[in-house]
Amino acid sequence: MTARKSLTRLRVNPGLVLLEVLTILLFIVFMFPFGMVILNSAKTSREIIFNAIALPSHWGQLLTNISLIFSNPTVDYVGAFIDSTVITVLSLVVIVLFSSMAAWVLVRSNKAWSTILFMVFVAAMVIPFQVLMYPLVRWMRVVGDFMHLRLLGTYHGIVFAYLGFGSPLSIFVFHGFIKNIPFELEEAATIDGCSKQCIFFKIVFPLLKPIIVTVLILNGIWIWNDYLLPLLVLGSNGAVQTIPIAVTAFAGAYLKQWDLILTSTLIAIIPVIILYLFAQRYIIKGMVEGSIK
Amino acid sequence: MKRNRLVNVLFLTPSVFAFVMIIIIPFFFGLYYSMTDWNGVSDNVAFVGFRNFRDLFSAPDFLYSFLITIAYTVINIVLVNVVSFLLSLIVTSKIKRRNFYRAGFFVPYLIGGIVLGYIWQFILNSIVVDFGASMSIDVLRVSFLSLPDTVIWAMSAVNTWQYAGYIMLIYVASIQSIPASLMEAASVDGASYPARVFHILIPMMANAFTISLFLTLTSSFKQFDMNLTLTNGGPATRFFEAPVKASQLLAMNIFNTATANRMAEAQAKAVVLFVALVVVSLVQVTVNKKKEVEM
């Protein structure tokens, strides 16, 4: 029996081998653009014009290009990286905290008003950003003037905007998860003398861990790469800048200088790839759960 | 009890307040502005009724953007879903390193549309053209981005590269939820691999198709970032005797209209985009849901 089993394992399945070769080819096609970015980030402008496919003559040029990017006078990449990080992290914190609180109240209230409010949140997801963007900027300016609190061009302004735009999907995802948490847990805690806010923070919130990962990833990828909202709220050359704005500002200033533009995209990509290498399992799981719900 | 109600209100306030301030109020302003002469400069805004909408449907550049957005969406729906379905079959097969491939195919989705637009502009304008020149392949010598007939296809190819890995994950999750015994039983009964895919796998995955088609449809319809940095609307072409930008999708048309300070007109275009998006996605979900039941 064991002998026969090992024999079948030895027998090569030609279909599977063919599939494997095909997959490797497909994988190379998928990774090809990244390869080209790395290759040409290590060239001078003249080298690229002469031959974009050839290997670079000096890999050391990569470091030269990177230092050129960081020392260029038009765009502050380090600043943009810090701003992007601050905006993404703060937005994620408020979205996760406030959306989960709201979703919990909406699930447990179980009244007509809570159902209607939930439906309004869900329905708002179909509104494309294009309908909102220009009135939003005008509205933020009016509200800012009225309250003597600048909303445009500031951290708190854009984080507040992300809370508004992120709430519907996040509440929807939390809502679906909280529905399946047995209510008996919360009842038992009430009998033990736990107040309502204590129930949420001590009992419910810790149970949300897996779905918080999903909400973080769905919103994180979106906010980090978002272009139009930061462009409109922060401006293309304001004090606060995100990575996508920095990349477009740079490409606009160094028109067709592919050595520098490609190096700048490489600098924008690397942190994301590093994060992905570490959190790959969570990111994939989070994406799947977020889209199926 | 009263205290509980207070906690309810406090818990709801941050989200609801931000939601109302950022989405609800601008939304109604947006509907209103689409019926005004708002120009973004003057503070005086006058109501003009449906004039902006009437003007839109006689503007060649808008009609053209509308049509190519529909074409682009249709191409994407087919291309993205076929590619991602095939990828999902591959990474759920018995090949080695399948988890590695699955993780790899997803990478393009992590890179934002702005950044990958520049990357692909370089690939299509320099790498492909240089390759065509060195291999003497005439078709490749002219960039796909410079011809009005090919630019939409090039954009769809880039979009497929970006989204296929993401949509693949949805199909993979669906395939993994189907009991393996079902496929094995059919195999024992002598069903060929394609027969098993078409008669068992695809019908069982109906729900995943509904989600995936919806995601590709709405994302293509609203496409902006990659459009901006890959083509910026170019090249120039003609439509009903009028000069138009060959790859200016709806979202970019709206953006460019507003940049020219024709804010009310941009707003009217955005409202049309909104209505079209709602109608098309409702039809798609209804049709797919009906199919789900039939299967």
Q: What is the ipTM of this complex?
A: 0.91
Lowest mean pLDDT across A45-54, A117-126, A199-208, B261-270: A45-54
Measured CA to CA, the distance from residue A122 to residue A54 in angstroms comes to 51
B12-35 per-position pLDDT tens digit: 999 999 999 999 999 999 999 999
> Which residues in chain A have their CB less than 8 angstroms from residue B122's CB?
36-37, 40, 52, 258, 261-262
Measured CA to CA, the distance from residue A105 to residue A117 in angstroms comes to 11
Task: Give the pLDDT confidence score for residue A9 in this predicted structure.
Answer: 53
For residues B2 and A190, the model is more confident at A190
**Interface probe, candidates A131, A250, A273, chain B, greatest B C-beta count within 10 A:** A131
Q: Give me the residue spans of the domains in chain B.
A: 53-294
Element (H, E) at B237: strand B236-239
Nearest to B266 among A101, A127, A134 (CB): A134
For residues A98 and A218, the model is more confident at A98
Which residue of A lies nearest to B107 if distances are taken between CA atoms? A273
Measured CA to CA, the distance from residue B183 to residue B233 in angstroms comes to 47
Mean pLDDT, residues A249-267: 90
**DSSP codes of every residue in A185-221:** HHHHHHHTT--HHHIIIIIIHHHTHHHHHHHHHHHHH
Average pLDDT, chain B: 91
User: B278 vs B219, B283, B285, CA distance in Å?
Assistant: 13, 9, 11
Q: Does the distance separating the beta carbons of A23 and B29 come in below 8 Å?
A: no
Mean pLDDT, residues B283-288: 90
Average pLDDT, chain A: 90
**Interface probe, candidates B19, B27, B128, chain A, greatest A C-beta count within 10 A:** B19
Q: Angle at the Cα of B92 (from B87 to B93), degrees rounded to 5?
A: 100
* Residue B158 pLDDT exceeds 60: yes
- Name, in order, each residue with C-beta under 8 angstroms of A268's C-beta and a sequence gap of 6 or more: A243, A244, A246, A247, B115
Band (pLDDT 50/70/90 cuts) for residue A154 is very high
A213-227 per-position pLDDT tens digit: 989 998 999 999 999
Q: What percent of chain A has pLDDT over 70?
A: 95
For residues A88 and B180, the model is more confident at A88
Task: Give the pLDDT confidence score for residue A10 in this predicted structure.
Answer: 52
Mean pLDDT, residues B175-203: 85
> Which residues in chain B have their CB less than 8 angstroms from residue A200's CB?
11
Q: Which of B41, B23, B48 is nearest to A171 (CA)?
A: B23
Distance in angstroms between the alpha carbons of the first and the last residue of chain B? 49
Task: Give the pLDDT confidence score for residue A2 in this predicted structure.
Answer: 47
The token pair at A259 is 């050595």
Mean pLDDT, residues B273-279: 95
Q: Does the distance separating the beta carbons of A131 and B27 come in below 8 Å?
A: yes
Q: Does the distance separating the beta carbons of A280 and B33 come in below 8 Å?
A: no
Task: Give the pLDDT confidence score for residue A192 in this predicted structure.
Answer: 85
Q: Does CATH number 1.10.260.40 belong to domain B53-294?
A: no
Task: Give the pLDDT confidence score for residue B182 in this predicted structure.
Answer: 83
Mean pLDDT, residues A19-46: 92
The token pair at A282 is 């969570």
Q: Which of A240, A239, A197, A244 is nearest to A223 (CA)?
A: A244
Name residue B242's beta-bridge partners.
B239
Mean pLDDT, residues B60-85: 95
pTM for the predicted model, two decimal places: 0.91
Task: Give the pLDDT confidence score for residue A1 in this predicted structure.
Answer: 43
The domains of chain A, with CATH numbers, are: 11-71 (no CATH), 77-292 (1.10.3720.10)
- B275 in contact with chain A, both atoms CB, cutoff 8 A: no
Instruction: Count how many pairs of residues, chain A against chain B, have C-beta atoms within 8 Å.
Output: 241
Q: What percent of chain B has pLDDT over 90?
A: 64
Band (pLDDT 50/70/90 cuts) for residue B80 is very high
